[in-house]
Structure 1
Amino acid sequence: MKPIDSRLTTANIPVFMLRSLVATLKDCNIDVSRLLVGVGLTLTDIEDPDCRVSFRQGREIIVRALQMADGHALGLETGFRQNIHSVGLVGFAMLTSATVEEAVKLGMQFQKNTGSMLEFDTRLTKEGVAITAASRFPEPGIYSFLVEEAFANFMTIGIGLLGDGFKPLRVELAYPEPAHSAAYKRIFGCEIRFGTIENLFLCEPSLYKQPLATSDPYTNRQLLECIAYHHERAREAVETTEAVERVLRQKLEKRISISGVAKTLGMSERTLRRRLAEASVSFQDLLDDLRKNKALELLGNPQMSIEQVAFAVGFTDSHNFRRAFRRWTGTTPGALRTDLSRIWPE
């Protein structure tokens, strides 16, 4: 079996965009209670600014949302409901930058902090400043949604920096024209081209050097220092938790102790406990999360019994597994399996 790319399963994406997606579905009078069934998240988690999701979790949520909101311009609506403040500290740092150019460069530098599931870049062309968007992973089922959401959010960021009169010169999309293409013209107010070789958001070059009325050098410096501090802490935390999770995944079906994991990682148990505490997580929390997510994945396979799932995630007693699963999810493995087969049939 081909191993799963760890970049798909590492929970390092902030939930800013997913929070907006949930709000958009609610505005469409769509019941969101089933959106997160079996994903390993709750609606309360989505409202937590410290929550992080994996690309795979984000993809699953978006696929379900698109099914639930068929006929809506969901990506555009999700992106346009956000504003420059919606991406947290990065948004405020952009607002307090000296010029539009500095704000854009800052957004590019910290794009992973904003919750996007795409990769962005900028370049100067003969026509102006181009911001491009490309996939991190080949995901045709959510590709157009991600580009729509990102470019609609670029619009609201531009409005936040320059005022209501902002609009791009042209928007190019590397996919066919969708049924809701009229919404593009309404949101962007410029020429729209579909079926191009890349996704491109093109702006007038003169805007790049324009000073920002909201510029504040002192506040900007404070915000950048705060972002850098949290970024470094997050990097250290991710390194520790990923190392522990890597060991746990290899031994998930066995009895696992923190002392054994520490020995595998070449450190003392005391050091490992201290590093996990600095990352605001406990060994048991990591173990429970991995067991829960693996159990949720296996419960989607009707060929596996509840007992087999229990053994696969490290429980020798299916009764203890059922009790732990109820603590993790608020329901039983059998009830959740029934929900999954009814709501998301194969």
Structure 2
Amino acid sequence: MVDLIRAACLTHYAETARSVGLDPARMLKSVGLPPCLTDPDIRIPGGGVRRLLEASATAAEIDDFGLRLAERGGFSNLGPVALIARDQPTVGAAMEAIGQYMHIHNESLRQRIERHGDSVAIIPELLLGRPVPARQAVELAVGVTYRILSAFLGPEWRPLDVHFTYPVPRNRQTYRRFFKCNVSFGAEFDGIICADIDMDRPMAAADPSIARYAQRYIETVAARSPTFDGKVRELIATLLPKGHCSVERVAQHLGCDARTVQRRLADSGKSFSGIVDDQRAELVVRLIEEKDRSLSAVAELLGFSAQSALARWFRDRFDCSITEWRSNPRRRAMDRITR
């Protein structure tokens, strides 16, 4: 199963790539990632992201591309995970919450917290199942962890040490500037060591009542289907209103080709067109209630070639015309009940 990552992890990729003389669009295309990543919540293949980071470091002839990307990002890039972390009572509780729900942001990333006497090691781990080049992805994960801790503990906070398992880079300047502490290479793990007392610091703006709402919300997000057809359905629901939904585009987000998508859906008794049809049915009843939205615009949003194609599909699906549906409040009410 392909692992997926929220596109938010590449929020600052384009500007980082340009800063080291790279063409971001060309680099994205070279690893098969979608060319436009303006929606931070849409998910993209983790393997493609890791290949992109490694290819960018190689093309720019630098060892620290992942760290440069982390330098421009921060806590907000975690999206739903940030919601539950920010209202925990202590920094330690916030980091535990991030570790518990990190898979929502990045399916291949986990976070361990190990306590050793008066120090704590926070260790982001990539769970890849097989050895692949991932130095830049590790740097990005450790760098983002540092940015999160800095956001919680203040700009004057410093870790005790930062560890990387790989060899000493050609240039340590970025590492010294970024972490502002000793950075050890060739270590036993990749992660950040800080004082145990840091974990007991209260979160500045914690609100327990908001934390309870955030808990319920993030558990709903975490309950998304882990199956292949569930991931396809999620992508279709995201791409369809943007007018960019096709089996080829969905395959690109899943890191495979269109034939693989069709075959794997068939294996589970589903079809791409059937899932698209169900998603259109869910969307259309909301869109046509907006009287100021033209039917031609609705047709375009749902991927129909013309308004007439939308009209034929709607009658086949709902056994009435759009006009009849709009004028029948009871039909609309029953439709909401049965969905």
TM-score by length of 2: 0.66
1:275/1:208 CA distance change after superposition, 3 Å: farther
Write out aligned runs for 1:280-319 (5 A).
none
> Structure 1 residue 12: deviation in Å?
2.2
Alignment partner of 1:81 out of 72, 81, 88: 72
1:28 aligns with 2:30: no
Comparing 33-42 with 71-80, greater Cα deviation is found at 33-42
Q: How many Å separate the matches in 1 of 2:166 and 2:226? A: 38
Letter of the structure 1 residue corresponding to residue 182 of structure 2: E
> Structure 1 residue 83: deviation in Å?
1.4
Alignment partner of 1:64 out of 39, 44, 55: 55
Alignment partner of 2:279 out of 277, 286, 290: 277
1:275/1:177 CA distance change after superposition, 3 Å: farther
Alignment partner of 1:178 out of 169, 174, 187: 169
1:142/1:218 CA distance change after superposition, 3 Å: same
Write out aligned runs for 1:76-155 (5 A).
76-115=67-106, 117-137=108-128, 138-139=130-131, 141-143=133-135, 145-155=136-146
The answer for the alignment partner of 1:163 in structure 2 is 154
The answer for the alignment partner of 2:211 in structure 1 is 220
Letter of the structure 2 residue corresponding to residue 277 of structure 1: Q
Deviations 1:74-114 (A, max 9, x none): 11111121111121121232122111111001100111223
> Aligned pairs, how many?
261
1:148/1:280 CA distance change after superposition, 3 Å: farther
> Structure 1 residue 213: deviation in Å?
1.0
Letter of the structure 2 residue corresponding to residue 82 of structure 1: G
Gaps of 5+ in 1: 1-5, 282-346
> Structure 1 residue 18: deviation in Å?
2.3
Q: How many Å separate the matches in 2 of 1:65 and 1:20? A: 13
Letter of the structure 2 residue corresponding to residue 161 of structure 1: F
1:237/1:23 CA distance change after superposition, 3 Å: farther
The answer for the alignment partner of 2:311 in structure 1 is none
Q: How many Å separate the matches in 2 of 1:176 and 1:161? A: 30
The answer for the alignment partner of 1:188 in structure 2 is 179
1:201/1:250 CA distance change after superposition, 3 Å: closer
1:169/1:202 CA distance change after superposition, 3 Å: same
Alignment partner of 2:197 out of 177, 181, 206: 206
Q: How many Å separate the matches in 1 of 2:278 and 2:52? A: 29
Contact 1:124 1:130 in 2 (8 A): yes
> Structure 1 residue 157: deviation in Å?
0.6
The answer for the alignment partner of 2:294 in structure 1 is none
The answer for the alignment partner of 1:323 in structure 2 is none
Moved over 6 A (4+): 242-245, 278-281
1:87/1:191 CA distance change after superposition, 3 Å: same
Write out aligned runs for 1:47-62 (5 A).
47-62=38-53
What SS is found at the alignment partner of 1:36?
helix
Contact 1:117 1:146 in 2 (8 A): no
1:231/1:169 CA distance change after superposition, 3 Å: same
What SS is found at the alignment partner of 2:205?
coil
> Structure 1 residue 20: deviation in Å?
2.7
Q: How many Å separate the matches in 2 of 1:205 and 1:177? A: 28
Write out aligned runs for 1:1-40 (5 A).
6=1, 10=2, 12-37=4-29, 39-40=31-32
The answer for the alignment partner of 1:235 in structure 2 is 225
TM-score by length of 1: 0.65
Letter of the structure 2 residue corresponding to residue 190 of structure 1: C
What SS is found at the alignment partner of 1:48?
coil
1:33/1:179 CA distance change after superposition, 3 Å: same
Gaps of 5+ in 2: 234-246, 251-255, 284-339
> Structure 1 residue 34: deviation in Å?
0.6
Write out aligned runs for 1:35-46 (5 A).
35-37=27-29, 39-44=31-36, 46=37
Letter of the structure 1 residue corresponding to residue 34 of structure 2: T
Percent identical: 22
Deviations 1:229-264 (A, max 9, x none): 1221x226755357999xxx99949x98x8xx3xx6
Contact 1:169 1:204 in 2 (8 A): yes
